[in-house]
Amino acid sequence: MNIDSKILLDCAISAAKEAGSHALRNHSRRTETLKVFEHDVKLKLDVECQAIATRIIQSAFPEHAILGEEDAPVSDKIAPTLDNYQWIIDPIDGTVNFSNGLTNWCCSIAVRFNDTLASGVVYIPVSDELFTAANDLPAQRNGSDIHVSNTCKLAESIVLTGLDKNDGTALPPFEIFRTISLHTRKTRIMGSAAADMCQVACGRAEGYYESGIYIWDVAAAGLIINRAGGKSEIITKGANNRLSFLATNGKIHDSLRSLIPFAKP
């Protein structure tokens, strides 16, 4: 059964806006922590926001599967459902930023049918920016079409990235960071992959790369970049939904890609 992507998109918008607004309204509770890891935290608000998004999605599409960061199974198989629709939720992308009072964080929701992304939404509550796209609709920011930048030279580009902890399964992030920095105008680590990729989609930066990122961090924003005229690609797939992921304005894609070890030509 094929559902109109606009219907899916509208549901994703409601879910992302409700979840993101809940986090913003409850900003004073941002340090209420469920678990603390060496380099990460899990917040009560992460779980609450995912529950809000899930409730909205399930009331519209009770038979669809949900893959949410907060209770992701240790498997990257799509849960079998009647329709093979799967919603991919990161309730707060940039959790550590949020918890510390930094402003760069967002809510990211995508829906895919089998392996094809149908619609994606990234909502950045602090700046009230809503980035949207569907596979047959343009990428937009707050309802206006957006486009990637026209910059063709890596040397004139800004590349946004993150440094994962390198648990031995990912590519060596510090070396890649150094290499990218030497070849670009600037590299930036801003702490929210989905928000970073939306900056590329609307032409404020040229590329995003991370060697160890998760599907829920990049699914929605990857579609938004593609529909804004850019290019996104999984470089390598690890276990448990972990990816090495590259997304650019398209024009610098091959030059940036050539700096990444293990990216097959």
Task: For the segment 164-183, give every residue that binds ligand IPD (CB under 6 A).
Answer: 164
User: Which residue of the chain is nearest ligand IPD when measured via CB?
Assistant: 162
Q: Which is nearer to ligand IPD, 48 or 93 (by Cβ)?
A: 93
Report the alpha-carbon distance of residue 134 to residue 246 in Å, rounded. 20
Other residues' Cβ atoms within 10 Å of the Cβ of residue 29: 12
Asked whether position 94 contacts ligand IPD by CB under 6 A, the answer is yes
As measured in angstroms, the least distance from the Cβ of 210 to ligand IPD is 6
Instruction: Compare residues 194 and 256 and give the one whose CB is closer to ligand IPD.
Output: 194
Binding region for ligand IPD (CB under 6 A) out of 12-20, 47-55, 137-145, 206-214:
206-214
- Give the pairing type, strands 116-124 and 106-113: antiparallel
* Closest CB 247 distance from ligand IPD, rounded Å: 13
Q: Which of 39, 41, 40, 65 is nearest to 54 (CA)?
A: 65
Minimum CB separation of residue 204 from ligand IPD in Å reads: 16
Please state the closest distance from residue 30 (CB atom) to ligand IPD, in A.
13
Give the pairing of strands 129-134 and 158-161.
unpaired
Measured from the Cβ of residue 32, the count of other Cβ atoms closer than 10 Å reads 12
* CB-CB contact of 206 with 158 (8 Å): yes
Output 5 or 99, the one with its CB closest to ligand IPD: 99
Binding mask 51-90 for ligand IPD (x = CB under 6 A): ------------------x--------------------x
Phi, psi dihedral angles at 264 (to 5 degrees) = -70, 140
Residue 89, beta-bridge partner list = 68, 109
Sign of CA dihedral 209, 214, 220, 223: positive
Q: Which of 120, 191, 207, 250 binds ligand IPD (CB under 6 A)?
A: 191
Give the pair of three-digit tokens for residue 168. 């031995």
Figure out which of the listed residues 95, 99, 184, 199 binds ligand IPD, where binding follows CB under 6 A: 95
Q: Which residues bind ligand IPD (CB under 6 A)?
A: 69, 90, 93-95, 162, 164, 191-193, 210, 213-214, 217
